[in-house]
Amino acid sequence: MPDELRLILAFAVAAGLVQLSIPLAIRVALATGFMDLPSGYKKHALVTPYLGGLGVLAVVVPVALIFGGGSDVLVIAACAAGLGVVGMIDDRVNLGPLTRVLAEFAAAFALWQADLGWMLFHEGAINLALTAVWVIALVNAFNLMDNLDGAAGTVAGVSAAGVAGLAASQGEIAIAAMSLALCGACLGFLRFNLSRPARVFLGDGGSMPVGFLLAAAVMAVPPTIGFGTAAVFAVVPLVGLPVLDTVLVIVSRMRRGVNVLSGGRDHLTHRLLNVLRTPQAVALVLGVTQAAACGVGFLLYDASIAVVFATATAYVLGGAGAIFVLEWQPHLRAEPVTSLAAPVGQESRP
């Protein structure tokens, strides 16, 4: 099968199948009582099924294996499935941050063992540490991004498209097919998640494996020879908005003396919602912004090291400026946190 056809089919089949898997996941959630209850800082009006992630993952894994194939995709898909199970358990019984981080480290270790982590240094321990930090950071960044209808699905779908473009340009067709399967499934999921009211939530069982798949896909694209750590700075824009959101929340809560591990309505999405009024409008702005960031990452991948570090300095300063505006403009400030007991990942809805 021609590579171009494989890529098209990976996206189209995933986008189509998720239209069947999500309604099935909703029925399973209703039958088992796997629901998200509005309480505390969670402001969604109705009890909502929590197994959207199961519907997405049940499509991405087989489609990625069929159209991507190969041992690399198998390892990544297996780890993603494992994190999906951990996330679903966490949605049900709240495993706590330590258990989740240990699971994420185990997945990162599996990637490193399979030579699918960052391989930028001669010392294996340093590569393992960098791989673990990258995976844990992105898994939790996308987990935190799942705080408003459409936010995580939109950003993940656009990021996956950007990663697919980069992988295809470097001849990594299997990784590109896996990424396009994720893109199709995430964008197809929005039909159910962006309806008013939302028919299903992604949940930790979806946001954790989605973040992992993107983290793994980025690392699986071989860095430009001689880039070293510049490779990391080159690809950060591919997942830029979740990184910005995470840094914003940490800075905001530390500044206000609030527990960083608490839940609350102080994310980038909530601040945009104050201005844009609807989750659909927020999702559109997030998608366009992330698409532009992916374009930057794509260009940086073939740029010189000097250009990469100069651009990285610019986007770090730009991010710092954005956080300053978001924190000090009255109409963009965070709402007071009403519950400090809620774990990270159990985030709020409109």
Residue 338 lies in a domain: no
Residue 266 lies in a domain: yes
Q: What is the pLDDT of residues 293-344, one digit of tens each?
A: 999 999 998 888 899 999 999 999 999 999 998 888 765 665 655 443 333 4
Residue 346 lies in a domain: no
Residue 204 lies in a domain: yes
Q: What is the pLDDT of residues 305-317, one digit of tens each?
A: 899 999 999 999 9
If one counts the domains in the chain, the total is 1
What phi, psi does 74 have (nearest 5°)? -60, -45
pLDDT score of 119: 87
Residue 225 lies in a domain: yes
H/E stretch holding 115 = none
Q: Is 40 helix (H, G, I), strand (E, B) or coil?
A: coil
Q: Determine the Cα–Cα distance for residues 163 and 267; give it in Å rounded to an integer.
A: 24
Residue 344 lies in a domain: no
pTM over 0.85: yes
Q: Determine the Cα–Cα distance for residues 114 and 135; give it in Å rounded to an integer.
A: 15
Residue 349 lies in a domain: no
Lowest mean pLDDT among 165-169, 235-239, 282-286, 345-349: 345-349
Residue 284 lies in a domain: yes
Please tell me the number of Cα atoms within 13 Å of 110 on its side-chain side: 21
Across all residues in the chain, what is the average pLDDT?
Answer: 88
Q: Determine the Cα–Cα distance for residues 79 and 144; give it in Å rounded to an integer.
A: 20
Range of the domain at 221: 3-332
- 321, with CB counted inside 10 A (0-12, 13-18, 19+), is exposed
Q: Determine the Cα–Cα distance for residues 65 and 77; give it in Å rounded to an integer.
A: 8
pLDDT score of 339: 42
